[in-house]
Structure 1
Amino acid sequence: MNRAVLRLVAVATLSMAMAACTSSSAETPEPTASAGLDTGADCPGLAEQGRRIVFGQPLGTELGGLVLGTGSTGVVLAHMAGGDVCQWLPYGRELADRGYRVLAFDFAGSGSSPGSGVSRAEQVQAAAATLRAEGASRTVLMGGSMGATSVLAATPTLNPAPAAVVALSPPTAYGDADASTAAPKITVPVFYGAGELEANFPDAARQLYNATPKTTQRQLVLAPSNQHGLFLVDPGTGEAGIRDQVKAFLDRHAPTA
């Protein structure tokens, strides 16, 4: 490949998606107003643009989240290790301005959410169910690094199935989330992205892309960047090529209307 000419590597295989999976362990919750969880405390200027909620109680956990926007297509934003909702809020605001209903949340043991024994995949399932309870008719799962692995692990067991999945710099496994086991079971459109200059993560993205069934609409984009995870699409740090590719993927598979 001539890297001086082609700086963005995109591999796409388009086909009809298979039928959605039929089971999920997450009950549909009734999200409540924030009850003492100061979600987004480390970024008050951004957090005040969203509405704080608490969800996950039917699973035996309390997860703090911020809802932005009011669209009928919901997007779950799952953060990276060592982070919280603040990581996603600049991009989340951008999505909300484009007409999406967005839920960025703190995984258990991160940010405002107390620790629990609930798996990360179940937490993502609860977030998707919460968006539906909030009024979204369909959902997208999007995550960076640890969050990317978590949304992939959640996808095959989510019912209703997500409209699409975006995984940025996903490890093949992280803690209790195993993306390598989930990838062969994914039947909904899935976008794998990473920075070409990251260590290990481009190879992991390729591995997961290759493990995803060829009958699934799947896309792999490697950007000429050392940015990691969600920072690939962040309005301030992101790589323009991959930002554009993610936008086109969402417009194609999960438009706002």
Structure 2
Amino acid sequence: MKLAAQRLIAVALAVGLVSCTDDPPPAPKPTGLNAGTGCPEFAGSGRQIEFGGEIDAELGGVVLGAGSTGVVLAHMAGGDVCQWLPYGQQLADRGYRVLAFDFAGSGVSRGHGVPLGRQVEAAAGALRADGASRIVLAGGSMGGAAVLAAAPTLSPAPVAVVALSPPTGYQDADAAAAAPKITVPVLYGAGELETSFAESARQMYAATPSTTQRQLVLVPTSAHGVNLLNPETGSVELRDRVTQFLDSYAPPA
């Protein structure tokens, strides 16, 4: 009897150990950067990503979608990923893989003295590593200058560039110097009532080689940068032209 009782206890202990090891591991706690906390309704539908170590920066962003055509979205001064995420979600719904990221010193991203164009290049590399096989660069205002600055040096080259309300330069991003070197399809867009930016767009369009597939879209609005694509306050015409441009040179795949 004593031996039988000992065996029963041993079996019970073994069962208990098995049941413990079968329990699922605890969910990992969120770590690292968490971009888009100001717009959880949009950021929550994407995946957090961190990159930029190769340029001595810690850059955070949100990836939406899963297509092989990737779109890097670069925000305006004083903003973060939340400026682009509503439009980014619409691109993702159309079949694009989208990365909206925070520039160093904005949102959650960290870094000092890292050129804006280099940050765009790092974002393109991160999106390729995530699964995109070709890249579109798009930016508004400061971000527009940054994507133009990055376009001639990015390797592999982007398949298209969209610059909305781009200044001829912003900090270290010399968009005016980059424009004559751009050989990929590029769309410059601006509101005619934001006078200086409309003129900047005209200047850079004129400086872009005539052999490049270039477009200049000026619309009668004072909306600026990313806001040009806002369905309520922006321009339907410009929004449609950007869609047509992407369909022509960088369709979703």
Decide: shared fold, TM above 0.5.
yes
Alpha-carbon distance in structure 2 between the residues aligned to 1:53 and 1:116: 20
Alignment-derived partner of residue 80 in structure 2: 84
Number of equivalences: 225
Alpha-carbon distance in structure 1 between the residues aligned to 2:174 and 2:151: 11
Alignment-derived partner of residue 45 in structure 2: 49
Alignment-derived partner of residue 229 in structure 1: 225
Cα 1:161–1:42 shift into 2, 3 Å = same
From 97, 103, 106, the counterpart of 1:107: 103
The question of whether the paired residues in 2 share the 8 Å contact of 1:75 and 1:141 is answered with yes
Q: Which moved more, 1:226-235 or 1:85-94?
A: 226-235
TM-score scaled by length of structure 1: 0.86
The question of whether the paired residues in 1 share the 8 Å contact of 2:75 and 2:142 is answered with yes
Q: Which of the pair is proportionally richer in helix? A: 2
The question of whether the paired residues in 1 share the 8 Å contact of 2:81 and 2:102 is answered with yes
From 158, 161, 167, the counterpart of 2:157: 161
The question of whether the paired residues in 2 share the 8 Å contact of 1:34 and 1:52 is answered with no
Alpha-carbon distance in structure 1 between the residues aligned to 2:117 and 2:169: 12
Alignment-derived partner of residue 29 in structure 1: none
Alignment-derived partner of residue 210 in structure 1: 206
Deviation above 6 Å: which 4+ runs of structure 1? none
Tell which has more relative contact order, 1 or 2 (C-alpha 8 A, sep 6+). 1
Matches within 5 A, 1:165-244: 165-244=161-240
Alpha-carbon distance in structure 1 between the residues aligned to 2:232 and 2:247: 21
Letter in 2 for 1:222: L
Alpha-carbon distance in structure 1 between the residues aligned to 2:71 and 2:136: 5
Alignment-derived partner of residue 119 in structure 2: 123
| SS of alignment partner, residue 123 of structure 1 | helix
Residue deviations 1:51-84, cap 9 Å, x none? 1110011111110010000001000000000000
Letter in 1 for 2:166: P
Report the alpha carbon displacement of residue 34 of structure 1 after superposing the two structures with TM: 7.3
Letter in 2 for 1:106: D
Residue segments in structure 1 that go unaligned for 5+ positions in a row: 1-32
From 75, 95, 98, the counterpart of 2:94: 98
Report the alpha carbon displacement of residue 43 of structure 1 after superposing the two structures with TM: 1.1
Alpha-carbon distance in structure 1 between the residues aligned to 2:90 and 2:84: 10
The question of whether the paired residues in 2 share the 8 Å contact of 1:70 and 1:96 is answered with yes
Cα 1:236–1:37 shift into 2, 3 Å = farther
Report the alpha carbon displacement of residue 237 of structure 1 after superposing the two structures with TM: 2.6
Residue segments in structure 2 that go unaligned for 5+ positions in a row: 1-28
Larger gyration radius, structure 1 or structure 2: 2
| SS of alignment partner, residue 159 of structure 1 | coil
Alignment-derived partner of residue 66 in structure 2: 70
TM-score scaled by length of structure 2: 0.87
Alpha-carbon distance in structure 2 between the residues aligned to 1:95 and 1:34: 27
| SS of alignment partner, residue 139 of structure 2 | strand
Give me the identity figure in percent.
68
Q: Which moved more, 1:112-121 or 1:98-107?
A: 112-121
| SS of alignment partner, residue 216 of structure 1 | coil
From 144, 147, 154, the counterpart of 2:143: 147
Is 1:39 the counterpart of 2:47? The answer is no
Alpha-carbon distance in structure 2 between the residues aligned to 1:213 and 1:34: 47
The question of whether the paired residues in 1 share the 8 Å contact of 2:56 and 2:111 is answered with no
| SS of alignment partner, residue 246 of structure 1 | helix
